[in-house]
A and B are shown apart, each in its own frame.
Chain A
Amino acid sequence: GGIITQTPKFLIGQEGQKLTLKCQQNFNHDTMYWYRQDSGKGLRLIYYSITENDLQKGDLSEGYDASREKKSSFSLTVTSAQKNEMAVFLCASSIYRGSERLFFGHGTKLSVL
């Protein structure tokens, strides 16, 4: 079986800071995703990538950048952290688009002071 590893597990930042979250998968999946999870709002798509060097914006991409330099890794950057922001960022991958299950990492919990 494979695994998705997200680092760091916890991230504390200052207002206005640029923060980077990393995700690695060893499933050899083509498609990778970044979701933001807020209590009571479900999972909202920030960015996804269908192959190496591809980037596609999701519904919540403003304020974020992403990078997919290798098939196995997908990074997300918060371009300017917002004061008192608190959320969990989840990385996921899938073998195929839309009709197959997603595999998730354990998440990165972000707190901004």
Chain B
Amino acid sequence: GDSVTQTEGQVALSEEDFLTIHCNYSASGYPALFWYVQYPGEGPQFLFRASRDKEKGSSRGFEATYDKGTTSFHLRKASVQESDSAVYYCALGRTGNYKYVFGAGTRLKVIA
């Protein structure tokens, strides 16, 4: 079946550092790929999605590019802020299939 792997369980950075959170997927065809962000005490919020090879999704300074060749959708941000501290989830969905697949999540802590 489909699966999503987030390599980092936790990431600690200083403000203005560059962020990369790795997301790799295992699935046939072209599933839709998503990034969500979850702040303490809240539910996950949609960041952006992509559904075609080389398509870039972006929001709030975060971006990721759908790469069919490496089956990846890595999240990047050029300069993180303390307010970016949250848990980030990579997810996969398919048209016609109600079951989304989520990665285990990556907890980002940004120190001022």
Contact = CB atoms under 8 A, between A and B. Distances in A.
Interface of A: 4, 31, 33, 40-45, 48, 50, 56, 58-59, 90, 92, 97-107
Interface stretch (B11-19, B38-46, B60-68, B73-81): B38-46
Contacts of B49: 101
Interface of B: 9, 32, 34, 36, 41-46, 49, 51, 89, 93-100, 102-105
A42 B46 contact: no
B100 A102 contact: yes
Contacts of B43: 4, 90, 92, 104-107
Given A42-B102, A106-B41, A99 B46 contact: no
Contacts of B45: 104
A8 B42 CA distance: 14
A61 to B, nearest CB: 12
Nearest to A90: B43
A102 B46 contact: yes
Contacts of B89: 42-43
Given A100-B93, A104-B45, 17 more contacts: A41-B104, A42-B102, A43-B89, A43-B102, A45-B100, A92-B43, A97-B96, A97-B98, A98-B32, A98-B94, A98-B98, A99-B51, A101-B34, A101-B46, A102-B44, A104-B43, A107-B42
